[in-house]
């Protein structure tokens, strides 16, 4: 499958969602910890918005994983 910006965003969003659920966090609670709105978190998980590097770092910290693991396509 050819990686495009669109499916890369969707893949990242689904990965964030899966890891959030694995950590038993609601979208609302996760968003609060990140300092963003629940709706913005939803857009990220849907692949509609790409989070900034600063936010990606914070996401990895809250999920207790390395940033490289979060961004890995494997």
Residues belonging to the chain: 74
Residue 14 inside a domain? The answer is: yes
- What are the tens digits of pLDDT across the range 63-72? 999 999 999 8
Residue 16 inside a domain? The answer is: yes
What is the span of the domain harbouring residue 44?
Answer: 5-67
Residue 74 inside a domain? The answer is: no
Percent of the chain with pLDDT over 90: 84
Number of domains in the chain: 1
pLDDT at residue 4 tops 90 = no
Q: Band of the pLDDT at 1, cuts 50, 70, 90?
A: very low
CATH of the domain at 33: 1.10.260.40
Residue 43 inside a domain? The answer is: yes
d(CA 30, CA 55): 12
Residue 72 inside a domain? The answer is: no
């Amino acid at each position: 499958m050819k990686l495009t910006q669109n499916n890369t965003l969707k893949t990242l969003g689904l990965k964030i969602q899966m890891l959030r659920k694995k950590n038993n966090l609601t979208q609302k609670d996760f968003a609060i910890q990140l300092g963003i709105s629940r709706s913005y978190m939803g857009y990220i998980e849907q692949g509609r918005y790409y989070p900034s590097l600063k936010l990606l770092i914070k996401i990895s910290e809250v999920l207790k994983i390395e940033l490289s693991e979060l961004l890995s396509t494997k």
